[in-house]
Amino acid sequence: MRICLILFTIMILQLISGGILADTIQIEFTENDSYSVEVARINVGDTIKWLPKNEGHNVEFLAGPEMASLPKKSKIDEVYSVVFNVPGVYLYQCTPHGNTGMLGLIIVNNDFHNIEKVKKIQLSTVAKSVLARLIRIARSS
């Protein structure tokens, strides 16, 4: 009887953490060739939804905790949603504007285990300095 109660409680807790309390964060493409949220801190199970409020942008993942299975690249000007189920640091860019620093960072579960790999991604000089700034923000918040 007690075991049943414990299992039931665990099930309920999993439901709450995995579903009901999962958040959706919205990030807009801005007219300044940037993302409205440059550093997003989320939890496993949360969704990020990118909204094309300004034309000519997309989302292309450059790094994540599982390099072999990064989310697919979105089409220019499309609404795009990704659910994040693996803790770690994700780096993405806008394909046309990555070189000029249109980058975004996502930290899932405050887990920085793959940050060194993220730092090693080939980027333009401008994008490199933007990434350094985003990492500073991520570390300090």
Least distance between Cu ion and beta carbon 22 (Å): 28
Least distance between Cu ion and beta carbon 94 (Å): 3
Name, in order, each residue with C-beta under 8 angstroms of 43's C-beta and a sequence gap of 6 or more. Answer: 22, 23, 108, 109
Least distance between Cu ion and beta carbon 119 (Å): 22
| 8 Å CB contact between 32 and 56 | no
Least distance between Cu ion and beta carbon 76 (Å): 8
Q: Which is nearer to Cu ion, 91 or 108 (CB)?
A: 91
Q: Which two tokens stand for residue 20?
A: 């009901």
Q: What part of residues 4-33 is at the interface with Cu ion (CB under 5 A)?
A: none
| 8 Å CB contact between 84 and 46 | yes
Q: Which is nearer to Cu ion, 55 or 116 (CB)?
A: 55
Q: Which residues pair with 63 in a beta bridge?
A: 91
Tell whether residue 94 is a contact of Cu ion (CB under 5 A): yes
CA distance 136 to 110: 14
Name, in order, each residue with C-beta under 8 angstroms of 60's C-beta and a sequence gap of 6 or more. Answer: 73, 74, 92, 93, 94, 95, 98
Q: Which is nearer to Cu ion, 94 or 131 (CB)?
A: 94
Q: Which two tokens stand for residue 93?
A: 């860019």
Least distance between Cu ion and beta carbon 33 (Å): 5
Tell whether residue 102 is a contact of Cu ion (CB under 5 A): yes
Q: Which stretch binds Cu ion (CB under 5 A): 8-16, 17-25, 51-59, 119-127?
A: 51-59
> Which residues sit at the interface with Cu ion, rule CB under 5 A?
57, 94, 97, 102
